[in-house]
Copies of this chain bind each other. A is one copy, B any other.
Amino acid sequence: MSIEFRAEQALRLWHAVSMALVHDDKPDLTLRQMTILLTVYLEPPPHTVRGLAARLDVTKPVITRALDTMGRLQLLKRRRDETDRRNVIVQRTVEGSLFLEAFADLVCLKARELPR
């Protein structure tokens, strides 16, 4: 199962997935928001605001605002770090897991439908 594809297939995959997301009436996440979400779910914890800002090379308020928005959407949640109460630990949620699971299924589906 090698993941090599041609440039055109890459574009067609991105197109199909993007089109599906646009057609979906759920509010779409910003590129930065999506990147934060994926980082939290794919990279080893703990995830702090400052750490995420450094990882993405963006300012802190970007992370704070994204956590506000995605917190409202229940995709992520904050927790105070009790060993160092200055830190905020960003954690996954059930809703976030389900969201990314559905997204991954969408990508796999569109990849499977790709012309050779």
Contacts and interface: CB of A to CB of B under 8 A. Distances in A.
Interface residues of A, number: 43
A35 B15 contact: yes
A82 B16 CA distance: 32
Interface of A: 1-15, 18-19, 21-23, 28, 31-32, 34-35, 38-39, 41-42, 56-58, 100-101, 103-105, 107-108, 111-112, 114, 116
A6 B101 CA distance: 11
A41 B15 CA distance: 10
A103 B1 CA distance: 23
Given A14-B38, A18-B38, A57-B22, A108 B31 contact: no
A5 B106 CA distance: 11
Specify which of A7, A32, A34, A101 lies most central, judged by the most chain B CB atoms within 10 Å of its CB: A7
A22 B39 CA distance: 12
B111 A10 contact: yes
Contacts of A21: 31, 35
